[in-house]
Structure 1
Amino acid sequence: MELKNKTMQAVKWNFLATALGTVVGIVQLWALSHILAPAQYGIISVALMVVTFFNIFIDFGISNAIIRRQNITELELSSLYAINVGLGVATFLAVYFSSPLIATFFKSPELEFQIRIMSFLFLMAPFGQQQRAILARDMRFNFIAIATIVTLLTNFIVVVGLALLYQKAWAASVAFLVSGAVNAAIFFIHSLRERKFSLRFSWPAAKPHIRYSLQLVSDSMINVVSINTYPALMARLVSLSAIGGYNIANSISIMLIERLKPVLTQALFPAFAKIQNDDSRLATNFLLVTTYGSLVNFPLLVGMFVASSSIVATFFNAEWQFIDSLVKILCLVGIFRSLDVPVISLLLVKAKMYLNVRMGIVKLVTGVALAYLLGTRYGITGIVCSFLIVQIGNTVLGYFVLVRACLQGLGRAYIKAVLIPLAQALPILLVSGLITLYPPSAHPSVNLALVVGAGVLAYLLGLYFSPFAVVREFVGLASRNVSPRLETLLLRRAK
């Protein structure tokens, strides 16, 4: 199977899991926002933020190091496995015993209990990470997608069930632990079918991978700290309820593409790795996937930007109505952030993640200062606006500092690769925007259905009648992975 089709197969399986995860996540979000008080939801948000940060140290960039190496020995794998397990134990101890300090910082005694429950997952997660990386390297994403779906459904059932019974924030912590344990068990059991379990360690075997991994973990740490600076400042400057509202707004805006980032990164990194020494092919594929990714991400975010008022009015109580403006700002943030995925994949295969680390430090320092300045004057809205300003600067500078360091002479072609998907998303803004400005019904749910339906129809018609060859190619590849008959039908008009 040619690389392009294999990559599209990978995207298809990951997209299936991501799409289901998005639907389940939104339903779960809606349920918890009605069951738990805003302050309780804020505690959940802070606990997840803390655990997400420390989760970086378990993997330590080793998964991507495995994906990058097409040939790797069993001794190297077992040595890296041992490092992951050791890091899991160390991270568990660090998080468990630092939880009182974290709870004090966020002025929430209940947070200590939540974090301690979640920390036990650090002991289990390393046993499934390596097998997931091997499957991703070999582009066997069908199994990864199935495991992801099982994990999502487990989390949904446990968290909603416990929240209904006890109406306490710890329900989310228990669900996080249980679903994470299920995920680790699935990959660990699968690994036993392919190789013997071994923790045999050799530093010379592991050493070549560690330098590369250090770049990745440094970048991930700075990125996570940078992103979580904004909700952390909300908790300190505003309230836990504010961070709960931000988390909901984030979940129905930026998280739409954050969930899709692994879809593309996991598919693109192995694909890019196979052609890392051919700059001409790499440049062509980089531009292509920038366009393809944006053809998925831009309509989602533009659609959510337009539909956010109807969504908030339909699904959330009066105490959450303030998140509408946050969703709109975060959708704009998401549009710029979505362009990071191909760039990161490019840096990974060129082993130049250190450049992103340097940019990340600048972004972090700037973001903290700007968020504090705007947050003290304008509250939660000011903090979110600072996120947007920093992200715009990061995307623009990213081309000059990151892309040009890997590939030369892409200026106009790169701008075109971004503008074409943006043009394809404009019909959503125009058609759905008119319905939002002049709602035909007094019922938000009816208006929401019309906004979504009209937006989807406008986008599909735009794809069908698109004058751009790259869009027609995207339509062909996408429809081929759904149905050969659908491909024939769609491309008959496109030609």
Structure 2
Amino acid sequence: MSNTQKAMNGGKWITISTVISTLFQFSQVAVLARILDPSDFGLVSISNLIISFFQIFSNLGFSNSIIYKQETDRKILSTLYFLNLIAGFIIFVAIHISTPAIIAFYHEPKLEQVLNLSSYYFLITYFGQLYMFLLEKELRFKSVARIDITGTVIGSVVTVILAYNNYRELSLIIGSLVMQTVKTVLQIAFGLSLFRPVWSFNTANIKDHIRFGLFNMGDGLLGFIQFNSDNIFIGGMLGVKMLGYYTIAYQLAIFPITKLNPIILQVAYPILAKMKDNTADLKKSYLKILDFISYCNLPLLAGLFITADGVVPLIYGPGWEKTIDLIYIFVFVGIFTCLSHPLFTLVFTKGKPSLLFYLNLGTLIIKIPLVYLFGTYWGVTGIAMAFLVATFLNMIANFAIAHSLIGNFVEDFISDIVKPVAFSLLMVAVIYTYKVIVGNSGLANTLIEIGLGGSTYALLTLLYKISFAEIKMYRQVL
């Protein structure tokens, strides 16, 4: 099977997984938004923030190095496995120790139970995580998809049941732990044929992984601070309720990115790692990834921008209107972010994770003062605008790094992106015309707007981008 066929087959399974998982997660949020208070989402957002921070250190940056080096040595993998388990336990303890300081910063006593319960994530996830890396390295995306679907479905069901039984913010935490427990058990079950640990713990044998991982981990730390500095400031300056509005708006706006981009990048990186010495092929692949991401994300983000005033009440119910203005800003954050994502495939394929470290360091130096300044004068809207400016500058630097790795690609990229941008603008114009002539209130109008937008973009794509014959060919390959 060729790399193209492997990519398409892997993409098929990850797509199936993403669609099913997305439906359950989206339904979960829509249900919970009608049961829980914005402050409950704010509490969970802080918990997720802390968990995400400690996740940076938990796998010590080894996930990408295993794929980059195509590691198969059983003793080395065993050392990495046990080192991850030790790191997980240390982080579990660290969260308990740091909880009082976190509570003091946010002035929210409810955080104690939320954080202490969340910390068990690190006693669960790292028993199976290395097996997931190996499954991806071997391009076994069917197994990866089955694991993700099963865990998400069970976790979502548990979360909703607990929320209806008045567990409030704890329903989200417990549901997440149940989901991760299911995934860990299945990761071990599916991956055991690829790796069985032996009693080996020799850090001298993993020096290359450590060097690779340190920059990877440093990049993760800076990236975390960069992408979450706004949440940190909002929680501390404006309170957990405002953080809840901000979180819901951000999650809805970047929903396409978090669900669609991993389908492409999760499959692309292991394949690109196998052609790391062929710069010409890497350039072609990078441009194809950018092209596909543009066609998938731009219409969804543009559609959300023009329909946000109807979509928000439809999904979340009354009381969430404050998120609409934030969504308008986050749509553009989403556009710049999705175009920046593919760089990691080039950087790790070339074995230069330090470039991402320096990129995030520069962005962080710019973003934190902007967040503080804009937040002080314009509150939560100002913080969202600071995020937008920093994300745009990050994308420009991102393209400069890609240019240094694969040569000039900007002309080809601009030529490719003209169509999805034009199609998206025409789609917005059609929806806007309908709203002016007919109106935009009510469920029926919102659904018609979504249908009109999707039909317009699909028709333009079939006429000017991809033919029925090509679609038929892709179906035959799959």
TM range, normalised to the smaller chain? over 0.9
| Cα 1:376/1:359, change in 2 over 3 Å | same
1:207-266 Cα distance to aligned partner (Å, 9 max, x none): 111111111111111112111111111112212111111111122111320233322221
**Structure 1 counterpart SS, 2:107:** coil
Contact 2:286–2:346 (Cα < 8 Å) also in 1: yes
Shift of residue 43 of structure 1?
Answer: 0.7
The corresponding residue for 1:329 is 329
- Counterpart of 1:178 in structure 2 is 178
Give the SS at the match of 1:352.
coil
Change (3 A) 1:477 1:57: farther
Residues 68, 351 of structure 2: 8 Å contact kept: no
Following the alignment from structure 1 to structure 2, what is the Cα–Cα distance between the partners of residues 8 and 190? 21
Superposition deviation, residue 290 in structure 1: 0.9
- Aligned-partner SS, 1:296: helix
Q: Does 1:421 align with 2:420?
A: yes
Q: Contact 2:34–2:317 at 8 Å: present in 1 too?
A: yes
Whole-Å separation in 2 of the counterparts to 1:148 and 1:418: 32
Partner secondary structure for residue 406 of structure 1:
helix
Query: 1:319-398 to 2 correspondence within 5 Å?
Result: 319-398=319-398
| Structure 1 position 478, deviation (Å) | 5.7
Q: Which moved more, 1:63-72 or 1:330-339?
A: 63-72
Look up the match of 1:407.
Answer: 406
The SS at the match of 2:135 is helix
Q: Which residue of 1 aligns with 2:11?
A: 11
> Residues 375 and 446 from structure 1, CA distance in 2 versus in 1: closer, same or farther, beyond 3 angstroms?
same
CA distance in 2, matches of 1:433, 1:111: 43
Measure how far apart 1:157 and its partner are. 1.0
1:149 has 2:121 as partner: no
CA contact (8 A) 1:35 1:167 kept: no
Shift of 1:481: 4.6
User: Is this contact kept in 1: 2:11–2:264, CA < 8 A?
Assistant: yes
| Letter paired with 1:308 | A
**In 2 relative to 1, CA 205–419 (structure 1 residues): closer, same or farther, beyond 3 Å?**
farther
Cα 1:141–1:383 change in 2 (3 A) is: same
What is the distance in 1 between the residues matched to 2:199 and 2:470? 42
**2:446 corresponds to which residue?**
448
Identify if the C-alpha distance between structure 1 residues 154 and 476 changes in structure 2 by more than 3 Å, giving closer, same or farther: farther
Paired with 1:380 and 1:23, the residues of 2 have a C-alpha distance of 29
Q: Which runs of 5+ in 2 are unaligned?
A: none
After superposition, where does 1:78-227 map in structure 2 within 5 Å? Answer: 78-227=78-227
For residues 439 and 76 of structure 1, do their structure 2 counterparts lie closer, same or farther at Cα, with a shift above 3 Å needed? farther
Superposed, 1:262-281 pairs within 5 Å as 262-281=262-281
> CA–CA distance in 2 between the matches of 1:69 and 1:304?
40
Per-residue deviation at 1:299?
Answer: 1.5
- Residue 438 of structure 1, CA deviation: 4.0
Deviation at 1:426, TM superposition (A): 2.7
- CA shift at 1:108, angstroms? 0.8
Q: Partner of 2:67 in structure 1?
A: 67
Cα contact 2:61–2:214 (8 A) shared by 1? yes
Summarize deviations over 1:93-118 as a string: whole Å, max 9, x none.
Answer: 11122112112111111112101101
Contact residue 78 and residue 198 of structure 2 kept, 8 A: yes
The alpha-carbon distance between structure 1 residues 366 and 437, as it changes in their structure 2 partners (threshold 3 A), is farther
Aligned mates of 2:440, 2:383 — CA distance in 1:
34
Spell out the pairing of 1:34-45 with structure 2 (5 A cutoff). Answer: 34-45=34-45
C-alpha distance in structure 1 between counterparts of 2:394 and 2:154, whole Å: 37
How far apart are the structure 2 equivalents of 1:411 and 1:333? 20
Contact 1:95 1:116 in 2 (8 A): yes
Equivalent residue pairs, number = 478
Q: Which moved more, 1:280-289 or 1:4-13?
A: 4-13
The DSSP-based 3-state class of the residue aligned with 1:31 is: helix
What's the counterpart of residue 433 of structure 2?
434
Q: What does residue 256 of structure 1 align with?
A: 256
Corresponding residue to 1:472 among 462, 466, 473: 466
Match runs of 1:265-304 below 5 Å: 265-304=265-304
- After superposition, the C-alpha distances for 1:64-91 in whole angstroms (9 at most, x for unaligned) are 1111123521111111111111111111
Residue 355 of structure 1 aligns to which amino acid in structure 2?
Answer: L
Give a deviation string over 1:351-386, Cα, whole Å, max 9, x none: 222122112112112111111111111111111111
Does structure 1 conserve the Cα–Cα contact (< 8 Å) formed by 2:131 and 2:191? yes
Q: Output one character per residue of 1:443-480: Cα deviation in whole Å (capped at 9) or x when no partner.
A: 2x1111111111111111011101xxxx438x766654
Q: Counterpart of 1:319 in 2: which secondary structure?
A: coil
- Residue 457 of structure 2 is matched in structure 1 by 459
Quote the residue 1:492 is aligned against. none
Contact 1:230-1:383 at 8 Å conserved across structures: yes
**Once the 2 structures are TM-superposed, how far is the Cα of residue 167 of structure 1 from its aligned partner?**
4.3
Gap change, CA 1:433 and 1:262, over 3 Å in 2: same
Secondary structure of the residue that 1:197 maps to in structure 2? coil
Per-residue CA deviation, residues 148-204 of structure 1 (Å, 9 max, x unaligned), is 111111221111111110242111111111111111111012233444233521223
User: Does the CA-based 8 Å contact 1:268-1:342 persist in structure 2?
Assistant: no
Q: Secondary structure at the match of 2:165?
A: helix
- Residue 106 of structure 2 contacts residue 239 of structure 2 at CA under 8 Å; is this kept in 1? no
Deviations 1:272-296 (A, max 9, x none): 1111101111111111111012111
Identical residues among aligned pairs (%)? 26
Q: Name the amino acid aligned to 1:417.
A: D
Structure 1, unmatched stretches of 5+, are 488-495
Q: CA separation in 1, counterparts of 2:215 and 2:359? A: 13
Change (3 A) 1:136 1:255: same
Contact persistence 1:291–1:420 (CA under 8 A): no
**1:312 Cα deviation after fit:** 1.2
Change (3 A) 1:165 1:339: same
CA root-mean-square deviation: 1.9
Alignment-mate amino acid for residue 453 of structure 2 = G
Q: Does structure 1 conserve the Cα–Cα contact (< 8 Å) formed by 2:32 and 2:163?
A: yes
Q: Which amino acid aligns with 1:273?
A: A
Question: Under a length normalisation based on structure 2, what TM-score does the superposition of the two structures give?
Answer: 0.95
Residue type of the partner of 1:212?
F
Q: Is the 8 A contact 2:131 2:195 kept in 1?
A: no
Task: Name the TM-score, length of structure 1 as normaliser.
Answer: 0.92
